Amino acid sequence: MRFSYTHHMPYTGIKQAGQDWPVANNQFDPVKGSEMFNKYVEDKIYAEQTGFDWIGCNEHHMSPYGLMPNPNLVGAIVAHRTKTAGILQSGNILPLMNPLRIAEEYAMLDIISGGRLVAGLMRGIPHEYIAYNASPSESYGRMGEATALILKCWTETEPFGWEGEFYQYRAVSIWPKPIQNPVPILMSATSPFSSELAAKHHAIAGILALTSMEDGRKHIENFKVNARKFGWEPTPLHINIGMNCCIAPTYEEAKTILQAGQEYFFGVLGGGIRTAQKLVVQKTRYYHDQEVAKAQAQKFVNMRSGAGGMSFDERVEAGLMICGTPEMAIDQITNAYKELGMGRLGMTIKVGNVADEHVTRTQDYLRDIVFPAVRHLGEPEDPAAAQAAE
CB 378 within 8 A of CB 343: yes
pLDDT at residue 136 in the model: 87
**Stretch 337-357: mean pLDDT, rounded?**
98
For the chain, what percent of residues have pLDDT higher than 90?
76
In a 3-state reduction of DSSP, which class is residue 9?
Answer: coil
CB 86 within 8 A of CB 115: no
Q: How far apart are CA 148 and CA 163, in angstroms?
A: 12
Q: What share of the chain is helix, strand, coil (3-state, %, to 5)?
A: 50, 15, 35
pLDDT at residue 18 in the model: 74
Instruction: Determine which of 57-71, 267-281, 307-321 has the lowest per-residue pLDDT on average.
Output: 267-281
Residue 24 reports pLDDT greater than 90: no
CB 102 within 8 A of CB 94: yes
pLDDT at residue 23 in the model: 83
Cα angle value 311/314/317 (rounded, 5°): 155
Q: What is the mean pLDDT of the chain?
A: 91
Element at 245 (helix H, strand E)? strand 239-247
DSSP letter (8 states) at residue 24: P
Q: What is the pLDDT of residues 255-296, one digit of tens each?
A: 999 999 999 998 898 866 666 666 666 555 555 555 655 555
CB atoms within 10 A of CB 215: 17
**Stretch 249-253: mean pLDDT, rounded?**
98
For domain 2-388, which CATH number applies: 3.40.50.300, 3.20.20.30, 3.90.1170.50, 3.30.565.10?
3.20.20.30
pLDDT at residue 22 in the model: 80
The model's pTM = 0.91
- What is the DSSP code string of 88-157? EEEEEEGGGS-HHHHHHHHHHHHHHHTS-EEEEEE---THHHHHTT--GGGHHHHHHHHHHHHHHHHH--
- If one compares 227 and 91, the residue with the highest pLDDT of the two is 227
* Per-residue pLDDT band at 309 (split at 50, 70, 90): confident
